[in-house]
Amino acid sequence: MGYCRLADGAQVAYATAGVGSPLVLTPGWLSHVEQVWTHPSAASTLAQLTEHHRLIWYDRVGGGLSDRTRTTDTIADDLAQLHAVLDATGVDRARFIGYSAGGPVATVFAAAHPDRVERLVLYSTYARGTDLNTQEEHEGLITIIGTNWKLATLALSSLFLPNGGHDDLRWFSRFQRQAADPTAATALLRYMRTHDVRDELARTSVPTTVITNRHDPAVRPELSREIARLVPGAQLHVLDGNEHDPFIRDSGDVVQAILAAVEGRPFTPSPPPAATVSLSPRETEVLTLLGRGSSNKDIARKLGVQPSTVERHVTNLYRKLDAKGRADAAVHAVARGLVTPPR
């Protein structure tokens, strides 16, 4: 970990891990370079990214371990922070992952400095901030944040992690409160709404891959399709997942798709899970509730059975469906038509 200083004296916190060709991750919604390692799944994802690369990531001014005496309000300021981190880490040329709110600044940098960008991966991001939601929805979210920050982080956790268990949601809620205060979160939302990088996307000449989950509840896949149309020669992968954050719970192939794009390898998404395995009526009920994000304790209460009975059904479901966990099970629930994914 380290710090670099901007022209106005503000400090930007950054971190690096791994050895190999530089891979820069621009910050999305609220980041904290240190606390992100405290979730096992997030740590596992970061470890995959660092296996063959020197991963560089940082906190935008206003949050995380960066200077909190002011916020980031313009794309020029965001870009200055990226330049400062690259200078501090001695990186002249790198591969970039622009995730969520980090997509626009990665796009502007790639359009302005194609000689410094080997490959660009844009995951679950957008060209125009006003396309994310209506003005009424935007102001409503800001009101909730200003009224009850803890409640707001819980609501956002449920949005970003529709398959997250109780511990995941609690962790991500706490993570957001560690990463920023309500004032900084509100400033970031208002800043995101000013983004419009359509012209920069059209001028992007570096190899670009656009990735989205088909049922991403936070950033609609139509926005990624627009990006792919605007960038000359861009590749588009629409995956069969339903989560926005790939670092905490990846219900599809997001991490593997990102790694393939970063390394210039071909990528074939996994086929949708088969819906032919026979399930008992009770197993179907349990799978439906799993797909809706219910915990084992909640399922036991709703079905009027003991938690140990639910655990046995869940174990059998994982074995029958070859599911690796709750996120995989949720994908199976969607494939069987038991759950309607959020849109």
282, 325 Cβ separation under 8 angstroms: no
332, 273 Cβ separation under 8 angstroms: yes
| pLDDT grade for 341, boundaries at 50, 70 and 90 | low
Question: Is residue 203 located within the same domain as residue 325?
Answer: no
323 occurs within a structural domain: yes
Task: Kindly list the distances between the CA atom of residue 306 and the CA atoms of 285, 302, 319, in Å, as whole numbers in the listed order.
Answer: 15, 10, 21
Mean pLDDT, the chain, integer? 92
Question: Is residue 94 located within the same domain as residue 66?
Answer: yes
Question: Is residue 42 located within the same domain as residue 188?
Answer: yes
Residues 316-329: what's their mean pLDDT?
81
Higher pLDDT, 97 or 40: 97
Question: Is residue 74 located within the same domain as residue 197?
Answer: yes
CATH of the domain at 292: 1.10.10.10
Report pLDDT for 268: 83
Answer whether residue 48 shows pLDDT above 80. yes
Question: Is residue 246 located within the same domain as residue 103?
Answer: yes
Report pLDDT for 274: 60
- DSSP category for residue 12: E
Higher pLDDT, 250 or 2: 2
| pLDDT grade for 321, boundaries at 50, 70 and 90 | confident
Global confidence as pTM = 0.81
Question: Is residue 46 located within the same domain as residue 93?
Answer: yes
Report pLDDT for 215: 85
Question: Is residue 240 located within the same domain as residue 318?
Answer: no
Task: Kindly list the distances between the CA atom of residue 285 and the CA atoms of 21, 278, 306, 330, in Å, as whole numbers in the listed order.
Answer: 48, 13, 15, 13
343 occurs within a structural domain: no
The runs of H, that is alpha helices, within 134-220 are 135-147, 149-160, 166-179, 182-193, 198-203
| Residue 317 to residue 45: CA distance in whole angstroms | 25
Cα four-point dihedral sign 280, 285, 286, 292: positive
Range of the domain at 129: 2-263
| pLDDT grade for 318, boundaries at 50, 70 and 90 | confident
Answer whether residue 273 shows pLDDT above 70. no
269 occurs within a structural domain: no
Residues 7-28: what's their mean pLDDT?
96
Indicate the range of 86-95, 177-186, 302-311 predicted with least confidence.
Answer: 302-311
Answer whether residue 342 shows pLDDT above 60. no
| pLDDT grade for 251, boundaries at 50, 70 and 90 | low
Picking from 30, 44, 103, 53, the residue whose alpha carbon sits closest to that of residue 255 is 44
Residues 20-44: what's their mean pLDDT?
93
Q: What percent of the chain has pLDDT over 90?
A: 71
Indicate the range of 171-180, 199-208, 278-287 predicted with least confidence.
Answer: 278-287
Helix (H) or strand (E) holding 55: strand 53-58
Half-sphere exposure of 229 (CA within 13 A, CB side): 9
Question: Is residue 314 located within the same domain as residue 205?
Answer: no
- DSSP category for residue 291: H
Token output for 100: 């969520």
Answer whether residue 340 shows pLDDT above 80. no
| Residue 39 to residue 55: CA distance in whole angstroms | 18
End-to-end CA distance of the chain, in Å? 38
Question: Is residue 188 located within the same domain as residue 331?
Answer: no
**Count of structural domains within the chain:** 2
Report pLDDT for 190: 97
123 occurs within a structural domain: yes
| Residue 178 to residue 30: CA distance in whole angstroms | 9
Question: Is residue 16 located within the same domain as residue 78?
Answer: yes
Q: What percent of the chain has pLDDT over 70?
A: 96
Answer whether residue 90 shows pLDDT above 60. yes
124 occurs within a structural domain: yes
